[in-house]
Chain A
């Protein structure tokens, strides 16, 4: 049985999904890539937008999400984040 992901990893998976689509992605693609329910994904996306990891772009063709610099920094520093949090019992 796959190990349950913690919140930091889910955020990482969502941000990486956006990054893999050249930093701009539709909600349905994130849903597929992130392996979350629709409701859970909506909650995470709202949090990531509020915390400025993502920005939402509303166009004629529909809504897309793109990474901010903070989102890129999270991805690049993820190893440090996860190691520090695990080592010092902050998870």
Chain B
């Protein structure tokens, strides 16, 4: 069983739009990460690109899921969400979203570990995804695993900022902290719609910071000298 969020009626459209925005930002970062990987033939930017690609795909799936739900509405959103017999397609889409998001975090975490051994990556995938698939409460496992993986990623960026205290490193660190807070809030969205909104707002802050960093990088790269 996947579970059901409590989503305020008025926020539903915004949720879809934010999901698409998050997917776009992830896509842009992934594009430039793959470009850097091709230019340098280094695996780290490539892993970064894969991580963001998978997370971007998960947000796209989430928005499509919500859009398909929204388009199937009659009058009451809340009533629809209280229906316990979720159809198979919705469940499959939800699982795809969860698996893609976790896969992206796993790849990013693996990247931060700076380990050459691919068996470590396979092990991470097996441990996390098998727990997700066989869990009695999928969403709680999803948010627990996401929180642990994000904590590792934040640790990497905190060390990075500690070593080199630049504004850009601070922005990257803050972005992942906000992403952690977003995930943390969404875990409680199973009980209250306020947490669903908070989760999206923290997510928005995270991706605005990531986009800002990316634009800054691109602008600087165009400057001569």
Contacts and interface: CB of A to CB of B under 8 A. Distances in A.
Interface of A: 8, 11, 51-53, 70, 73-74, 77, 79-81, 83-90
12 contacts: A51-B41, A77-B39, A79-B220, A81-B36, A81-B39, A83-B221, A84-B32, A84-B217, A84-B221, A86-B164, A86-B166, A88-B29
A11 B157 CA distance: 25
B36 A85 contact: yes
A87 B169 contact: yes
Interface string B29-54: 10011001001111011001000000
B37 to A, nearest CB: 10
B39 A87 contact: no
A87 B40 contact: no
Contacts of A87: 168-169, 171-172, 213-214, 216-217
Contacts of B221: 77, 79-80, 83-84
Most A CB contacts (10 A, CB to CB) among B41, B44, B45, B164 go to B41
Interface of B: 29, 32-33, 36, 39-42, 44-45, 48, 111-112, 156-157, 160, 164, 166, 168-169, 171-172, 213-214, 216-218, 220-221, 223
Contacts of B45: 84-85, 90
Closest 10 pairs (CB-CB, A-B): A80-B221, A87-B168, A51-B41, A89-B160, A83-B217, A79-B221, A90-B44, A87-B213, A87-B217, A84-B217
A56 to B, nearest CB: 17
B40 A89 contact: no
Contacts of A73: 39
Contacts of A11: 40
Contacts of B112: 89
A30 to B, nearest CB: 19
Contacts of A77: 39, 221
A4 B33 CA distance: 25
Given A53-B41, A87-B168, A89-B156, 16 more contacts: A11-B40, A80-B32, A81-B39, A81-B40, A83-B220, A84-B32, A85-B45, A86-B166, A86-B168, A87-B171, A87-B172, A87-B214, A87-B217, A88-B29, A88-B172, A90-B36
